[in-house]
Structure 1
Amino acid sequence: MRRASTVPKPDARPEFPALVPPGSLVEGQLAPARPARARRRHLLVLLSFLCLVLGQTGIAGWYLYQRAADQYAASFAFTIHSEAESTGGLLQAMPGLSALTGSASPDSDILFQYLRAPDLVAQVDAALDLRSVWSGPVRDPVFAFDPEGSIEDLTRYWARMVHVDYDAGPGILTVEARAFDAGDALALAQQIEAACAALINRLSAIAREDRLSHARRELSRAEERLGTARQALTGYRATHRIVDPLADLEGEMGVIQRLQQSLAEELVTLDMLQATTGQGGKATRKGEITDARITQSQRRIEVIRDRIASERRKFGDAAGDRNYARLMGEFERLKVDVDVAQEAYVLSLASYETARAESDRQMRYLATFSQPTRPERALYPDRIMWLLAVAAGALLLWSVMVLGAYSLRDRA
């Protein structure tokens, strides 16, 4: 059995609700919208706006202007000044140029990290009792510190009350310390400045002592080396019973020269005797009488020649009683050791004296060019900024909630 077709005919007119009088609409037009009326959801949206936005902003304004305690701020600025050293040159005199070239300022970096370290917090707390300073004159659970908090809580709260601005180019640090009393803010800033100065002095003293101890060790080694070289030279002189081989050698050369001179004179004398007696030139026959003066001169010449040969053997003959070649080589080596050790000792002594002179003066110190002063007016908390932030946050939260609710309603 075929079902009847439910497709309306093209010329069929649409049927309107009974509330629209027939004949009141023109063909092809829709029914007019009903008059807008306040619904329950509209009241809920308005009520949520009043509670979440206006209410939260009002509560925040009441708390900021009625309960929040005034905070005073004392600030100071400083840099690390170091005496110009030989390795500094132009870059140390021009911080901007040193920043462009990539050279770092380790002292400023150390201080920047130290200003946020728990060690500094503990030192300042021991000196000023930060728990009582930051607990506030009135009950302020939002901006004041809980006196029962631990050192970790105090360190986290320190980051809220002590602000550090570091300009890495010239190496300038600006510190702002806040407190609920003007005197406490000034005392806090002064205590932080004193702690930073003490840290720089401690680091400078460690560096000076390290340089001085290094120079002292080098001087001790140079003294020991010089003493060893001198003892070796003294042992050489005692063993060979000679003070200066060069002077002794000059004496030996003088002896040889005198012997050679005597030999030359004796040869001349022999020639004169032979020429006078007529017994020169050829050897005398056996049994021929020879002049005694010639014989004596010949013996003297032989003795002088033997003596010259004996003296010359001292210069290189290992079998001689004194081998001057070996003695001179050993003496020169020991003398060079003494000279080198002496020069090293002089340099080490000069380095030690320089390090000692530098240790007597402070090479690096905290240069505070903006001293902390007592504040006269409370700058914090910034009530207008906080009020605008709370209002903007509440408005954003309310908008998200309303849009989410309408999105869920449209999907239903």
Structure 2
Amino acid sequence: MMLDSGSESPTSNSYIVNDYLQSQAIIEDLSHTIDLEAIFNRDQADWLFRLGTDLPIEDKIDYWNRMVDINFDATSGVIYVEVRTFHPDDSVTLATAILQRSEVLVNKLSEVNRRQSVRFAEETVARAEARLKVIRRQMLAYRDATQEVSPEDNAKIAMEMISALDQQVVAKQAEMKTLATYLNSDSPRIRLLYEEINALESQITTERQRLGGGTSGDNGTSANDNRLAVRISDYSDLKLEEEFANQFYTTALAGLEKARQDADQKHMYLATFIKPTLSQQAQYPQRFLYSFAFFLMLAGFWTVVVLMYYNIRDRT
């Protein structure tokens, strides 16, 4: 078996599969579909090599790791599985089941990996969207309170109005100076111009106070809250926050799309290049080797007994 994960290195995930095949989890998972005790307790099996019954899980794991060899090549990421049972068909059945459980595990790992990467991006989008909604509600509340869409536009209109009033004052003053050359200062025409100039200057003062002066508001938030300059400052802060929130939301959406694309490219799967094969000749037990080893053990035991016998006889 070889684990492939697209653009990622398969080594770390291969270690997970390797540990899984030697753990308690694989025994519990296989027990749902295969009777392991029946396989490892066949009648034709030697009693010395049987699994036995009613064993604790620790003993089952030790027996499993003796009968199922898992070899992992960290360089290539290849996992080689060798299964030994007391019947060749049982070995093929068990090897096939191990392969299926490994594929299930790899599919879960792949799905969890893809889901987590997308979930983090979705959480970022949710935070960005919530922040943007808060800023927009604050902007709406500000406009409802000030009854204006943009104080900056109102400031431009006010400056244009003040400039127009200044021009009218200059024109009236020039006209009054011209009339003063040949009319008395208390003439109705000059007095009318004087009143008009005073009214225009008063209007200019009022407009200038609305831009940069005024009295404290009743809500007690800060002094001169009704000044247009203060409203422009508050509006600029809200507008800047809204721009940042929009940029953050746009970036989060792009990140979510990128995470989904990366998740689609990170498919992790198990490639089986050698299917479980049926043994045609029994490889175990190695009768000659076991018999020879047993003979050597008995010979050694006999030698020790003989030496002890002659040693005791010579001392008596």
Tell me if TM exceeds 0.5: yes
Between structures 1 and 2, the one with greater helix share: 2
Partner of 1:301: 197
Partner deviation per Cα, 1:351-390 (whole Å, 9 max, x = no partner)? 3334445555653222333332233332222233323332
Say how many residue pairs are matched: 307
Partner of 1:51: none
Q: 1:379 aligns with which of 278, 283, 294?
A: 283
Partner of 1:82: 5
Residues 314/411 of structure 1: CA separation in 2 closer, same or farther (3 Å cut): farther
Aligned residue for 2:211, secondary structure, equals coil
Q: Tell me whether 1:181 sits opposite 2:77 in the alignment.
A: no
Partner of 1:121: 27
The answer on whether the counterparts of 1:122 and 1:151 sit within 8 Å (CA) in structure 2 is no
Residues 369/318 of structure 1: CA separation in 2 closer, same or farther (3 Å cut): farther
Q: Return the offset for 1:123.
A: 2.5
Partner of 1:364: 268
Residues 139/108 of structure 1: CA separation in 2 closer, same or farther (3 Å cut): closer
The answer on whether the counterparts of 1:79 and 1:366 sit within 8 Å (CA) in structure 2 is yes
Aligned residue for 2:214, secondary structure, equals coil
Q: 1:341 aligns with which of 245, 250, 254?
A: 245
Q: Could you state the TM-score of these two structures normalised by the residue count of structure 2? A: 0.85
Q: Residues of 2 paired with 1:169 and 1:353: CA distance? A: 34
The answer on whether the counterparts of 1:137 and 1:180 sit within 8 Å (CA) in structure 2 is no
Q: Any unmatched runs of 5+ in structure 2?
A: 216-223
Q: 2:145 aligns with which of 239, 258, 279?
A: 239
**Which residue identity does 1:215 align to in structure 2?**
A
Partner of 1:398: 302
Q: 1:162 aligns with which of 68, 71, 77?
A: 68
Residues 370/318 of structure 1: CA separation in 2 closer, same or farther (3 Å cut): farther
Q: 2:48 aligns with which of 142, 156, 170?
A: 142
Partner deviation per Cα, 1:189-224 (whole Å, 9 max, x = no partner)? 111011111112123323333333333333333222
Q: Return the offset for 1:410.
A: 4.6
The answer on whether the counterparts of 2:7 and 2:265 sit within 8 Å (CA) in structure 1 is no
Percent of aligned pairs with the same residue? 29
Residues 392/267 of structure 1: CA separation in 2 closer, same or farther (3 Å cut): farther
Residues 411/204 of structure 1: CA separation in 2 closer, same or farther (3 Å cut): farther
Q: Residues of 1 paired with 2:234 and 2:311: CA distance? A: 105
**Which residue identity does 1:301 align to in structure 2?**
I
Task: Choose 1 or 2 for highest CA Rg.
Answer: 1
Q: Residues of 2 paired with 1:131 and 1:234: CA distance? A: 72
Report the RMSD for the aligned CA atoms in angstroms: 2.7
Residues 383/311 of structure 1: CA separation in 2 closer, same or farther (3 Å cut): same
Q: 2:177 aligns with which of 247, 262, 271?
A: 271
Q: Tell me whether 1:108 sits opposite 2:14 in the alignment.
A: yes
Q: Residues of 1 paired with 2:286 and 2:39: CA distance? A: 20
**Which residue identity does 2:252 align to in structure 1?**
S
Residues 327/211 of structure 1: CA separation in 2 closer, same or farther (3 Å cut): same
Residues 136/329 of structure 1: CA separation in 2 closer, same or farther (3 Å cut): same
Q: Could you state the TM-score of these two structures normalised by the residue count of structure 1? A: 0.67
Residues 400/167 of structure 1: CA separation in 2 closer, same or farther (3 Å cut): farther
Partner of 1:9: none
Partner of 1:8: none
Partner deviation per Cα, 1:381-404 (whole Å, 9 max, x = no partner)? 223332333233333333333344
The answer on whether the counterparts of 2:44 and 2:86 sit within 8 Å (CA) in structure 1 is no
